[in-house]
Amino acid sequence: MFNAMANKPHWFMFLLIPMILLLAITRIGNTIDIQIHNTYIVINPIHFGLLLSVILGSFGGLYWLVRKKKLIYWMTIAHVLVTGIGLLSITGFSLKPDILNGTSGNSFYNYEQYQTIIMIISIAMLVWLLCQILFFINVAAGVMRNKEK
């Protein structure tokens, strides 16, 4: 499985797009409400899903462009796994906040639980963003080495 992921990472990126969109479409009518101090961010789930799909599509497209180059194995695996698991968890926690607090809908009765969910999403986003550095280093190294597979 890891060899397939390292040899064709663009397929894994493209396969995540329908999963993200399916999660987003199932939450139509609700909104994603994120409170950071005195700032409220309200996002429509379909817009959130489309944004993540564009991001995954661009990563998949870049992997497709360098598919004949020899990329660093562990960086490719780490990027694909963290990107996939990270975006699915960010999407899941953002679109389904009632997972942790046991209520139906997006209402939060306990401020501490809400802050816990926001902290989980923030940590996942930070790890995801840091892993994207691996992607650009990996692509740059593959292009500079100019080795074919």
Which residue carries 């995801």 as its tokens? 128
Look up the pTM and report it: 0.74
User: Rounded to whole angstroms, what are the CA distances from 114 to 2, 41, 56, 66, 95?
Assistant: 36, 14, 28, 41, 13
Which tens digits make up the pLDDT trace of 25-51?
887 667 777 666 788 778 888 888 898
Average pLDDT of the residues of the chain: 80
Which CATH number is 110's domain given? 1.20.120
Q: Which of 84, 56, 67, 61 is nearest to 142 (CA)?
A: 67
Q: How far apart are CA 94 and CA 54, in angstroms?
A: 18
Domain limits at 39? Answer: 2-145
- Higher local confidence (pLDDT), 41 or 83: 83
| Number of domains the chain contains | 1
Rounded to 5 degrees, φ, ψ at 141 are -65, -40
Task: Specify the 3-state DSSP secondary structure of 69.
Answer: strand
| DSSP of 122-140 | HHHHHHHHHHHHHHHHHHH
Write down the pLDDT at residue 97: 55
